[in-house]
A = this chain, B = another copy of it.
Amino acid sequence: MANWNGAVASREEIRELKRRAAVRVAARIFNEKGYHATSLDEIADEIGVTKTALYYYFKNKEQLLYECLVLTYDCGQTAQQEAQALDGSAYDKLCLMYRRFIDTLMEERGAYTTTANIKSLPECQQKEMFARRTQLETYIRDLVQDAITEGSVRDVDPRVTASFFLGAVNWILRWHSEEEALPANAVAAHFVDLFVNGIVKRD
């Protein structure tokens, strides 16, 4: 298998790929059974190695969870950046944000950003995660407020609406991983439709 060289991965790259694979497996099982209910042996088994091998890549179990959560928040951040880059109304941004958030999340499949999960992290990383969560929520809230001001959205409470927004996003990940009669993007589109119709202003 040695080296057709050029196209084939270096050591560093292989290491990185293995890390990523491990994180994805971990995220899946954490989501299914919960962080504390999942043993490292279980994750290792699923990958096809021994628990100890994981310690070669990750400092400890918490580190593994941390990277799962980072993956998830990165999806939100990516969606946010795309929305900010869009040259359009607050309403357009909100729609794009929602759609892209769900899209990337379903693609990446990180871990649920539940309070319980975050609280399982060491103090310092907890702070970071809670900060990212607040940041995201604030951005959405402001977007809703702007959309109301510009007259494209009815007079809803921005805080509650932002929460409603995030709730649906969080839920879709949870729900769609279990059953899967519909393709991911169909579900995403439908959620966008339901959310947008809930807030849009009509003449």
Q: Is the CB of A194 within 8 A of B36?
A: no
Contact B34 A117 (CB under 8 A): yes
**Could you list 15 examples of A-B contacts with CB < 8 Å?**
A32-B115, A32-B116, A33-B120, A34-B35, A37-B116, A115-B178, A160-B182, A161-B190, A163-B172, A164-B190, A167-B170, A167-B172, A195-B198, A196-B198, A198-B198
Is A4 engaged at the interface, CB distance under 8 Å to the other chain?
A: no
**Is chain A's interface secondary structure helix, strand, loop, or mixed overall?**
helix
Taking CB atoms, residues of chain B closer than 8 Å to A32 are 115-116, 119
Q: Is the CB of A37 within 8 A of B194?
A: no
Taking CB atoms and an 8 Å cut-off, the chain A residues in 141-182 that contact chain B are 154, 156-157, 159-161, 163-164, 166-168, 170-172, 174-175, 178, 181-182
Chain A contact-residue range equals 35 or more
Instruction: List the B side residues contacting A195 at CB < 8 Å.
Output: 194, 198
For residues 98 through 154 of chain A, which have their beta carbon under 8 Å from a beta carbon of chain B? 114-117, 119-120, 154
Whether a CB of chain B sits under 8 angstroms from the CB of A199 is yes
